[in-house]
Structure 1
Amino acid sequence: MESPNRVRQVRLQHGLSREDLAEHVGVTRQMIGLIETGKVNPSTSISLRLGKVLNSSVEYLFSTDPVETINAKVVTESDVHQEVSQRVVIGSVMGQNIARPLTFVHPMAQFVAAHGIVPSANPSNRVELYRDVHRTDKTLFISGCDLGLGLLANHISHASRHHQGIWFQASNRAAIEELRRGYTHVAAVHTHLSIEEFKQTLDLPFQVHAMHFSIGQLGWIVSRGNPRGFTSAGDLASGQYTIVNRPAGAGARELLDSELKRYGVPAQDIPGYQSVVRGHIDVAYAVFNGLADVGLAHASAAAQYGLDFLPIRPETCMLVFSPESELDESLQVLQESLQSDSFRQDLAAFGPYDVRATGKTIQ
């Protein structure tokens, strides 16, 4: 009895001949032909080798379910090799299906259940779905660097059986750029400016609406007990402290450069200034593991690792979105989650955060 599979389809996507695949797997060309036509069921060891060579799970290669596909614009990540297949989630942003990869670039999103896969060398932006055709209007993408956004995404997913919130880690500048390009529904940004001043800094082709997320503290993260006695950016002039930095476009990076300028400390003289990590939690991780003595990040990141925190200034985190998105069901679920007592209590405990204005519309 013949057993249908996807081995030939995936082999061709990788640009491999039967001979090539046979050589990598350690079987004959004829055996590959028999497997592809479903005339032979391979052993477990051969199946595992096929999966490894073709960068696919055994379940995917030998599933008998028909492949459902959906057309979507696939967002590419500069840090990800495009020659390998990618797990993706799909959402409808301003009327267009957007497929976003679940990769190490967004560590919290890596463990989200994917909606499908984009095969390698995929020129047509067709996504092969793992399950029945996905309701793309039920997915909400949130981009930003605040750790509380991961909590918000989970509350959205738990508050509604039909909607899913997914957090993608991004600096202020990157989150706004994703909103501008139509890759995300909501951009979360931190600012110490007024909303009027902040809106003037945005480079967007449309007006935006905004809601309060939280107020938190941005400052120095140091080891528990502050054993090296760090006090301010002025201490960095000694060259005795190694720091961990954030990328250009991040609010923490801008504050660090401002503090160095205030104390007259040349950035090039500071050990670790060129050592850049993506998010606040990565800063805390580096300090916790002794990879750096100090870093600038949010108090919530320090709290997750039990580290000491030296505040510099409070910052408001706002959720910014296009007015076109305001009628989306998923955004309404987000607003309901923000305004719920359970979420605000959870966020305050997760922080520390000031949540008295959480969920309120910013005029």
Structure 2
Amino acid sequence: MEPREAVTPHVRTWRERAGVGAGELARRAGLTRQALHRVETGAVEPGIHTALRLARALGVTVEALFELAPEEMLAEGADLTPGARVRLARVGERLLALPLGADDSLACAADGVTGPRHADGRWPVTRTGGDDLAARSLIVAGCDPSLRLLAAAVPEGAGRLLVRPLPTGEALSAVARGEAHAAAVHLWDARAGGLDHSALEAALGPLGATVYRLWTWTQGFIVAPGNPLAVRSAADLARRGVRLVNRPAGAGSRVLLDAWLAGAGISPTEVSGYDHPAASPVDVARSLQAGRADVGVGPQSVAAAHGLAFVPVQVEPVELVVPSLHAEHPALRAVLDAAASPALHAQLATLGGYDAAGAGRPTLVLPGRKSA
């Protein structure tokens, strides 16, 4: 037999709210006072007839009087701590828990709260919501801050987009490991003048995938207001007194920067701060605001959002890479439709540097490598 879930009684609360004494309620429900006391304290669980008589006597539902204990699930996840507010998603057979960041945790509903990690590395999650959205949640890994706007544009009830903020290289690795359904990537191939297909194939290995256009964004140099150091090109990064904040190896913006430096004949060793990476475009902007750097590489939208100046260098595509095994995910169509919606395009236009023409359309099919 399956273990029975614990039941929390609220009979006394409703009895006192109704102003009914214990003896009177026991009489109405056909119980002894001792039997009612055992029900109210949780010492015994009432049968269906007793529960119905108590509900009728107090004029409430059985569900109001007796509550099942919150469901506990075991999930996998990184960057978790006991007591973390999380959202849940299923990737294949795995249940993953994504922590809500500090800002989101204050504004967004959580699916559950983590307990102490088990010996097998999984985290017990006590559900806090009634609707199990895990099977209808699409995890997209990527560093484009506008993915949160895309998530907000998915209609309620059509599924849910959960954003896992990771640089492009790490986003693709997360997909290959089964820790995300899709990756939003920008990976420039200077020789081909577009998305680096070979890098995608190498990252995904045997996984076939479809690549969908999201939008293009303008990338360049984020600098202090007024651009006091007059940074205009990659060659200026080698000047004395110019401090760079970089992105991690494998990040799309790092790939761009390396191409720009190579085009200018500049070695990374000549650039102060080349080895000082920031985890996200937003962290690049915060480094400049804090005075820890003078210039960083990132999108125009991030510079504008943080009141910083921007030197445009290149327009670059941002694409959604979806492995074939997730092609039928129930939320994918809703996400692609949201990406193509005029309402989202209007919002992107206010950020600066985005062009969403053709959003949601497939641009490439990767057949995947055959295993040896």
TM-score range, shorter chain: 0.7 to 0.9
Return the offset for 1:357.
1.4
Partner in structure 2 of residue 151 of structure 1: 149
Partner in structure 2 of residue 136 of structure 1: 134
Partner in structure 1 of residue 178 of structure 2: 182
Please state if 1:68 is matched with 2:71. yes
Name the CA shift for 1:123/1:89 in 2 (closer, same or farther; >3 Å).
farther
Return the offset for 1:224.
2.3
Name the CA shift for 1:262/1:318 in 2 (closer, same or farther; >3 Å).
same
Return the offset for 1:321.
0.9
Partner in structure 2 of residue 93 of structure 1: 91
Partner in structure 2 of residue 160 of structure 1: 156
- In 1, Cα distance between the equivalents of 2:363 and 2:105? 28
Question: What are the within-5 Å matches in structure 2 for residues 234-273 of structure 1?
Answer: 234-273=235-274
Return the offset for 1:355.
1.1
**Letter aligned with residue 129 of structure 2:** R
Name the CA shift for 1:331/1:203 in 2 (closer, same or farther; >3 Å).
closer
Q: Normalized against structure 1, the TM-score is what?
A: 0.73
Secondary structure, in 3 states, of the residue corresponding to 1:235?
Answer: helix
Say if 1:115 and 1:131, in contact at 8 Å, map to a contact too: yes
- In 2, Cα distance between the equivalents of 1:70 and 1:352? 42
Question: What are the within-5 Å matches in structure 2 for residues 34-45 of structure 1?
Answer: none
- In 2, Cα distance between the equivalents of 1:281 and 1:338? 22
- In 1, Cα distance between the equivalents of 2:108 and 2:178? 21
Name the CA shift for 1:249/1:114 in 2 (closer, same or farther; >3 Å).
same
Partner in structure 2 of residue 343 of structure 1: 344
Hey, which bits of structure 1, 4+ residues long, moved more than 6 A? none
Partner in structure 1 of residue 112 of structure 2: 116
- In 2, Cα distance between the equivalents of 1:296 and 1:335? 28
Say if 1:109 and 1:168, in contact at 8 Å, map to a contact too: no
Name the CA shift for 1:200/1:327 in 2 (closer, same or farther; >3 Å).
closer
- In 2, Cα distance between the equivalents of 1:198 and 1:266? 23
Return the offset for 1:188.
0.4
**Letter aligned with residue 154 of structure 1:** A
Name the CA shift for 1:352/1:162 in 2 (closer, same or farther; >3 Å).
same
Say if 2:226 and 2:309, in contact at 8 Å, map to a contact too: yes
- In 1, Cα distance between the equivalents of 2:358 and 2:139? 22
Secondary structure, in 3 states, of the residue corresponding to 1:362?
Answer: strand
- In structure 2, the gaps of 5 or more residues are 1-7, 10-40, 43-66, 365-372
- In 2, Cα distance between the equivalents of 1:184 and 1:103? 17
- In 2, Cα distance between the equivalents of 1:108 and 1:277? 21
Q: Normalized against structure 2, the TM-score is what?
A: 0.71
Secondary structure, in 3 states, of the residue corresponding to 1:327?
Answer: coil
Return the offset for 1:351.
3.2
Partner in structure 2 of residue 18 of structure 1: none
Question: What are the within-5 Å matches in structure 2 for residues 203-222 of structure 1?
Answer: 203-222=204-223
Partner in structure 1 of residue 22 of structure 2: none
Partner in structure 1 of residue 32 of structure 2: none
Q: How many residues align?
A: 296
- In 2, Cα distance between the equivalents of 1:348 and 1:360? 19
Secondary structure, in 3 states, of the residue corresponding to 1:88?
Answer: strand
**Letter aligned with residue 333 of structure 1:** A
Partner in structure 1 of residue 293 of structure 2: 292
Deviations 1:306-331 (A, max 9, x none): 32222222211000112222222211
Say if 1:109 and 1:166, in contact at 8 Å, map to a contact too: no
- In structure 1, the gaps of 5 or more residues are 6-36, 39-63
Partner in structure 2 of residue 275 of structure 1: 276
Q: Select between 282-291 and 264-273 the one with higher mean Cα deviation.
A: 264-273
- In 2, Cα distance between the equivalents of 1:122 and 1:131? 22
Say if 2:253 and 2:298, in contact at 8 Å, map to a contact too: yes
Q: Indicate the percent of aligned positions where both proteins have the same amino acid.
A: 28
Deviations 1:134-166 (A, max 9, x none): 23122221210111111101111xx22463222
Name the CA shift for 1:362/1:110 in 2 (closer, same or farther; >3 Å).
farther
CA RMSD of aligned residues (A): 2.8
